[in-house]
Amino acid sequence: MFDDIITKSKVKSPWLYHLNTGSCNGCDIELISILTPRYDVERFGIKLTGTPRQADIVVVTGPLTSQSKDRALKVLSQVPDPKVVVSLGSCPMSGNVFKGSYSIEAPLDRFVDVDVSVAGCPPKPEAIIDGIIKAIEILKDKRG
């Protein structure tokens, strides 16, 4: 009985973990803006968590540098299954303007399964919200 209640409550309140893998902070600022009263993503039950062990959805920003790759993979392994990975911005998708640099390992999907990609440099808050709503739907499907 309690397991059913806990499972249903997790569907209604997914927790996000923000993982910066070397971004310029443009996407990070836009991600934080969706938590403000103007966009109020908490109306969907979404909360930002400070630890990957409590996260349901991981939002990755940045082009995945050589220095951050091992740490990022370690953090992603700490997120309990089922999890959803969202790549935010053009950098984790392709490397963007940093592509071809000696220190860039992008794209992110070479190393982990990315469920949702939100394009843009930086993406608009509305696109971020749309991507996170898609991630919530994928999380519901993964939980069965």
CATH of the domain at 105: 3.40.50.12280
Query: For the whole model, what pTM was predicted?
Result: 0.88
Beta strand 15-20 with 57-61 is parallel
> Is pLDDT of 1 > 70?
no
**Inside any domain, residue 128:** yes
Rounded Cα distance between 64 and 51, Å, is: 19
**Inside any domain, residue 114:** yes
The domain of 26 spans 16-143
Across the range 58-75, mean pLDDT stands at 91
Across the range 49-57, mean pLDDT stands at 90
**Inside any domain, residue 2:** no
Rounded Cα distance between 99 and 124, Å, is: 22
**Inside any domain, residue 40:** yes
Rounded Cα distance between 107 and 94, Å, is: 5
Convert the pLDDT of each residue in 132-141 to its tens digit. Answer: 999 999 998 8
Instruction: Say how many domains are in the chain.
Output: 1
> Is pLDDT of 26 > 80?
yes
Convert the pLDDT of each residue in 105-117 to its tens digit. Answer: 878 888 999 999 9
**Inside any domain, residue 28:** yes
